[in-house]
Chain A
């Protein structure tokens, strides 16, 4: 519990970080009769003594974090449900809400550590035709850029968004960012860098477009702040620490009982 709380506090400024919550459960109970300890009578409840506690779950809270303006063009926040899908170095998919993207040397949209956003988008393909310094990303996840004035040939693949033709210089759509969601996102496990991977208990991912079917909207120039609430973490820290102290106190006392027993024979 203290470890988890410490980790939460450490990530209080990590974009897209989701707070972890711990829960505990008691261990099995053992009848005193099995151990031939002194008992009296035949009571309704045969006396049993407990064996302690174990961690039952560490669950991320998937609550929305607040959106913080960064004014950086590749900072994307999801307002609502959903995850960005990224391609991990081992080829598997990971899911994240940390929208702190940037361009790598080749012009791919990547998150920290060079992890590619899926679907991959190589912006340098378009550098002769559009102004890459003026990219806008709509809440629906569409990536737009104005056509360069001196670009005379427009790639066939570049689509003109409906209704935007009047914009000076013309605006073209370079690609689209999709979102993914799960029925039970709390079962995702974390692998660092704020990337989640599906665990055994996670439902299959559902793909969708931002802003549709209950998927969240994408906000360009914002980052989702960590949803860790410092005051809750501080109380958790106190609760955890007191429980730790109490348990270590009971260990000391149990030790003293043994010492007293050993002192029977002077």
Chain B
């Protein structure tokens, strides 16, 4: 009867997958969005043991045939192991707006929120009332030392993130990167949050593009095929449940009846 629970587990996991695909799809036009992928795992794998006393000679598990012997491996259930974020760069889209920035390779822009520093690849920035460079949420974007202050919405920013107004070098956009296994998670608002105790490294030679936004790296065709797969797997799991249902029904109602 374990299979019934396996089927139910599979349905639950596929629901999580479906949620994830919906989220990726809804963020198709979110600048700097990184897609998530559900990694599933069977857990825990266990050995099945005989419950009845083996008849001598029937088993091949050694000379002690009358002991309870293992008969094979079965998976208890399936579950979501993790939902990692794919930090693959998205395509670049030219907007021509002077306060739109994109990072080509690795790295994040740094914004300061009430809860501390957050990291983002969404370079759609604005100017606040007092001339501070802020993101869409109104959080200041960090330069070399502290928030970037500008005089106009039309600065010139070179490849390395140096900001010029006229001839004057005003500030440099802070671009940081993390080691590969740093726990970074999405917080919403296109922000990434890093677990306490992990410090980013300053990128010495960032590749900053002005007038360009990084597109979401979720691609439509792949998400759509994944969605089809989820739908069919879900259906299959449902069928399995129904088969078990039939079996149980037979066992309960038909076994032992004459007709």
Instruction: Verify if B175 is at the interface (C-beta below 8 Å from A).
Output: no
- Provide the bound-state CA to CA distance between A257 and B234, in Å: 7
What residues of B have a CB within 8 angstroms of the CB of A200 in the complex?
129
What residues of A have a CB within 8 angstroms of the CB of B14 in the complex?
257
Instruction: Verify if A72 is at the interface (C-beta below 8 Å from B).
Output: no
Q: How far is the CB of B75 from chain A (nearest CB, A)?
A: 11
Q: How far is the CB of A204 from chain B (nearest CB, A)?
A: 8
B78: nearest residue on chain A (CB-CB)?
A38
Taking a contact as CB atoms under 8 Å apart, the answer to whether A43 and B82 are in contact is: yes
Taking a contact as CB atoms under 8 Å apart, the answer to whether A186 and B126 are in contact is: yes
Q: How far is the CB of B74 from chain A (nearest CB, A)?
A: 16
A183 partner, pick from B36, B131, B235, beta carbons under 8 A:
B131
Taking a contact as CB atoms under 8 Å apart, the answer to whether A56 and B21 are in contact is: no
Contact mask for chain A residues 94-138; partner B; CB cutoff 8 A; 1 contact, 0 none: 000000000000000000000000000000000000000000000
Instruction: Verify if A261 is at the interface (C-beta below 8 Å from B).
Output: yes
Instruction: Verify if A59 is at the interface (C-beta below 8 Å from B).
Output: yes
- Provide the bound-state CA to CA distance between A253 and B25, in Å: 12
Taking a contact as CB atoms under 8 Å apart, the answer to whether B231 and A256 are in contact is: yes
Q: How many residues of B sit at the interface, in one of the four size bands?
A: 35 or more
What residues of A have a CB within 8 angstroms of the CB of B19 in the complex?
49-50
* Dominant secondary structure at the A interface: mixed
Taking a contact as CB atoms under 8 Å apart, the answer to whether A246 and B238 are in contact is: no
- Provide the bound-state CA to CA distance between A155 and B202, in Å: 69
Q: Which of B147-192 contact A (CB under 8 A)?
A: 150-153, 181, 183, 185-190
Q: How far is the CB of A158 from chain B (nearest CB, A)?
A: 37
What residues of B have a CB within 8 angstroms of the CB of A50 in the complex?
19-20, 23-24, 27, 36, 186
Q: How far is the CB of A244 from chain B (nearest CB, A)?
A: 9
What residues of A have a CB within 8 angstroms of the CB of B188 in the complex?
25-29, 51
A186-B224 in contact given A32-B16, A44-B181, A57-B126 (Cβ < 8 Å):
no
Name 13 A/B residue pairs within 8 A (Cβ), A-sorted: A1-B29, A32-B83, A38-B77, A38-B78, A40-B81, A43-B82, A47-B83, A50-B27, A52-B26, A183-B127, A239-B29, A243-B28, A250-B25
- A26-B189, A47-B83, A253-B227 given; name 8 further pairs at CB < 8 Å: A21-B95, A29-B186, A48-B186, A63-B96, A203-B129, A243-B25, A256-B231, A263-B238
